[in-house]
Chains A and B, each alone.
Chain A
Amino acid sequence: GAVVSQHPSWVICKSGTSVKIECRSLDFQATTMFWYRQFPKQSLMLMATSNEGSKATYEQGVEKDKFLINHASLTLSTLTVTSAHPEDSSFYICSARGMGGQETQYFGPGTRLLVL
C-alpha cells in the first residue's frame, strides 16, 4: 500500500506554544488530506479535510484559527496547533487520498502531542 509519513512522532511542549505537524505522501500524489484527532480509548474524530491549493474544510466544533492547516503541495500538508493548551494533548493522525474520489485513505503513523 501507499506510504504516508508524519513528523514529528512525539511532541512535548509548554502551554502557549505552537506546534507544527507535517504529513507527507511518499509515493503518491495526495489531492486530499485529512486530519484526525484521537483521545485515549475513543474513536477517530475528523478535524478537517484539505484539498491541495484550497482552504481546509473544518468539522463542526473545530476552531480553524487554532488548528491551522496548509496543503501547499500534492505531497505535503501541515497542521499547526496554535497556543497549545493541556486539553489539546492528543494523538493527531493524518491520512491521504490519491487522485479519484474512491481512492483508499492511507494513514500516517500519528503524532502524540503532550502539552504541559
Chain B
Amino acid sequence: GQNIDQPTEMTATEGAIVQINCTYQTSGFNGLFWYQQHAGEAPTFLSYNVLDGLEEKGRFSSFLSRSKGYSYLLLKELQMKDSASYLCAVMDSNYQLIWGAGTKLIIKP
C-alpha cells in the first residue's frame, strides 16, 4: 500500500529552527510537495522536489532523498505566523497526490 508518515505535532520557539520530516512508500514517484495549512483555511503550496537535494526558498527549505524515501521541510527564524499544519504529499506513478496526515506546528514565544 501507499503510505506517507510525518509527526503529528511539533513545538518550537519563536526565532528558532525546526525540521519536519516525511517518509513515504508509494507506487512510483513523480515528486514531493509541501503545503502549509492554517487553521480554518485551505492549504497553500510551499515547495516541490523531484530531484535529490535541497531547495531553498527564503526562510523555508525542502530536502529530498529518493533512495531513502525521505524528505524534510526546514523552517528558519520561526515566526508566530508559522503556526500551522504542514502537509507532505507525494505524486505517484498515476500523477495522483498521496497525502500525509499533516504535522501541526506550534510556535511558542
The chain A residues found within 8 Å of chain B, CB to CB, are 1, 34, 43-44, 46, 49, 91, 93, 101-102, 104-110
Contact with A along B65-109 (1 / 0, CB 8 A): 000000000000000000000010001000111011110000000
- B33 located at the interface, meaning its Cβ lies under 8 Å from any Cβ of chain A in the complex: yes
Within the assembled complex, what's the spacing in Å between the Cα atoms of A34 and B98? 13
What's the interface size class on B, roughly?
20 to 34
Contact between B30 and A102, CB atoms less than 8 A apart: yes
Residue of B31, B33, B96, B102 with most partner-chain A CB within 10 A: B96
18 contacts between A and B (CB under 8 A): A1-B45, A43-B100, A43-B101, A43-B102, A44-B87, A44-B102, A91-B40, A93-B43, A101-B30, A101-B91, A102-B95, A104-B48, A105-B33, A105-B97, A107-B35, A108-B42, A109-B42, A110-B42
Grouping DSSP codes into helix (H, G, I), strand (E, B) and loop, the B interface class, with mixed when no group exceeds half, is loop
Tell me how far the C-beta of A103 lies from the nearest C-beta in chain B, rounded to whole angstroms.
Answer: 9
Closest CB in chain B relative to A60 CB, distance in Å: 13
Given contacts A101-B30, A102-B30, contact A44 B43 (CB under 8 A): yes
Q: How far is the CA of A102 from the CA of B89 in the complex (A)?
A: 13
Quick one: closest B residue to A107, CB to CB?
B42
A104/B102 contact (C-beta < 8 A), A49-B96, A109-B41, A109-B42 known: no
Contact status B48-A101, CB under 8 Å: no
Given the complex of chains A and B, what is the CA–CA distance between A108 and B37 in angstroms?
12
Contact of A107 among B43, B48, B99 (CB under 8 A): B43
